[in-house]
Structure 1
Amino acid sequence: MKFIDEINTKEVSTLITFQYKVFLTVVECGSFTKAGEKLGLTQSGVSHNIAKLESELGIVLLRRNRNGLSLTDAGERVMPHIRQIMYHAALLEQEAALIQGMEVGSIKIGTFPSFSSNVLPRLIHRFTQSYPHIKLELYEGGYEEIEEWIASGTVDVGFLTQSSREFETVPLFQDELVVLIEENHRFHTKEVIEVDSLHDEAFIMPKAGCDILVKKLLKERGGVKPHVLFEIEDNNTLISMVQEGLGVTIVPKLVLPPYIPHTKVIPLETSVFREVNLALKSFKAASPSAKRWIETVKNHFK
């Protein structure tokens, strides 16, 4: 009888943990359908698990309306605790695997677009060669989004372009800001470009966090004010507009492909860099899998 009770307790515990996972996935995806696709469940399966969890807790977690899903006040209050439960459940699983001489687990990584396309594939390749059984999940967004994801526990680690008092960080490399112009622009004969020369110049302002760096640079150079025609988040769109001669822009080198037809890349007169860092809430509290990822990233940039 005791043995049967132990099995049932384990089964119930596993079921509740899965319901927590379903709940967090619904919140992250914003819909039952998308969460179901990610989890391999039907929409009714997702709905059933949420209903069971709400019944177990005795509270309503999600509000359904025409605009989609949103957390209730109760849902907002319990979500950090559910994240902690899932985090510690993953730690337990990974520690048990390590005792058995296995490297398993999962890592959620926050990354920004230019890093994703130009650096991250090499890191993933290097990591999966050493740890093929550790699953990587990627969350791509702007700098502020990544900070929010790290703070809330949505991701385990994230790549940021500035250090933060709120997180522990590992400096990785410096990424130079450069000017991108159309090949026949009046600046095309310059070896370097003075920031002052951009005053009243037709300008395409990058977004997704780069605008903070550019605006800070312009302000520090005496409040230089280019004529901003567009503010563009997508790097490919930004480059296309410069290729068509609509304006010039300032972007980090990491944003640019190795070759861009009909354009010229010119450094600034005084070099300006953004620092790319790996950030997380606590090295000490990081999971074994996350520590393996941090070690791999640090070794890559040595």
Structure 2
Amino acid sequence: MDLRGLEAFCTLARTLNFRSAAAELGVSQPAFSIRIARLEDELGMRLFDRSRAGVSLLETGRQFLPHARDLLERSAFVRESAASIASGLSGQIRIGYTPVSFIGDVPKLLRDFASLRPDVRLELKEGLSAEIEDGVATGRLDAGFVHPLTAAPNLQLHPISRASYVNVLPSDHPYADRKSIRVADLAREEFVLVERRTGPFIYDRIIAMCTKAGFSPRIRQEVGNSIAVLGLIGAGHGVGFVISSMKQLGRGDVAFIPVEGKSPELPLALAWHPAKTSAVLEGFVQFVKSKSPQKKG
């Protein structure tokens, strides 16, 4: 159904004057009359009574009028929605995140973006960094907060931060009151580490750091995430390393001690596929870039 015909019908129903209605829509009177005639032919019924006395709306026209107005309103809504999507003001973004990426500034980034673009729906999915990279590369995700790329080097990155690792000890450990600690001082300790499958980048660097300090770490247990590392260390099951921002979790059963010299760092970046972008995703990427200049944390 031609929306121009509906628009002509609603205008004529209000003005009941062909000349005025045509002028209001900016068309000639003959062209306007053709729109009305075509609409009536398409509907299979007359809508107006035309006589020397003027134009009046027939009963068929009165009953059809609310439906015509509803169709025009819906059409306007669809056009506005399409324009909003095209401009990046509405739509959906599927974002992957690692558990450790949410210990820091990422939740605030997402909250601030949602406040700025309330009509953009953020669908969040948790996973390991390599899983998120694969999701972005294959199109299952639009973007992701990841750590160093391991599986999909074709993705585009914006660095967000680099988090330094600190030593974690039980709060009653003899070294718990130290201002800093040498890695070599931990040679006789048992370690709790996040398993290599979860974080190969950091796992290898922790092992290399211990090796450089002159010992091979005795690993008591490997776990799936840093929260479990803190729990086991708090229970007295050994020592380990986590990113410094985990201090904000406020656990009283563990102590966080800076490592003397250079400790491993965990980079965090936003990843997206440059060939699978959209206006709404571009808006999100630009927002993250503006709010997260690379920093250490």
Which residue is equivalent to 2:186?
Answer: 198
Give TM-score scaled by structure 2 length: 0.63
Matched, 1:219 2:208: yes
Q: 1:291 to 1:264 in 2, by over 3 A?
A: same
Which residue is equivalent to 2:174?
Answer: 186
Alpha-carbon distance between aligned partners in 2 of 1:269 and 1:192, rounded to the nearest angstrom: 6
Which residue is equivalent to 1:113?
Answer: 99
Q: 1:257 to 1:188 in 2, by over 3 A?
A: same
Please give the residue correspondences for 1:271-282 in structure 2 after superposition, counting only pairs within 5 Å.
271-272=262-263, 273-282=265-274
Q: Which of these two proteins has the greater Rg computed from alpha carbons?
A: 2
Q: 1:138 to 1:126 in 2, by over 3 A?
A: same
Q: 1:99 to 1:111 in 2, by over 3 A?
A: closer
Pairwise CA distance, 1:95: 9.4
Give TM-score scaled by structure 1 length: 0.62
Which residue is equivalent to 1:47?
Answer: none
Read off the aligned partner of 2:198 and give its amino acid letter. G
SS at match of 1:251: strand
Matched, 1:144 2:130: yes
SS at match of 1:257: helix
Q: 1:102 to 1:215 in 2, by over 3 A?
A: closer
Q: Find 1:103's aligned residue among 66, 85, 89.
A: 89
- Unmatched segments (≥5 aa) in structure 2: 3-78
Aligned Cα root-mean-square deviation (Å): 2.7
Pairwise CA distance, 1:199: 2.8
Read off the aligned partner of 2:180 and give its amino acid letter. V
Q: How many residues align?
A: 211
Q: 1:190 to 1:251 in 2, by over 3 A?
A: same
Which residue is equivalent to 2:22?
Answer: none
Matched, 1:128 2:114: yes
Q: 1:256 to 1:152 in 2, by over 3 A?
A: farther
SS at match of 1:215: helix
Read off the aligned partner of 1:280 and give its amino acid letter. W
Alpha-carbon distance between aligned partners in 1 of 2:149 and 2:204, rounded to the nearest angstrom: 18
Q: Deviations over 1:69-91 (max 9, x none)?
A: xxxxxxxxxxxxxxxxxxxxxxx
Pairwise CA distance, 1:262: 2.3
Read off the aligned partner of 1:126 and give its amino acid letter. D
Which residue is equivalent to 1:298?
Answer: 289
Moved more, 261-270 or 94-103: 94-103
Read off the aligned partner of 1:175 and give its amino acid letter. A
- On the 8 A contact 1:198/1:225 being kept in 2, the answer is no
Pairwise CA distance, 1:194: 2.2
Pairwise CA distance, 1:172: 0.9
- On the 8 A contact 1:106/1:135 being kept in 2, the answer is yes
Alpha-carbon distance between aligned partners in 1 of 2:176 and 2:154, rounded to the nearest angstrom: 43
Moved more, 231-240 or 167-176: 231-240
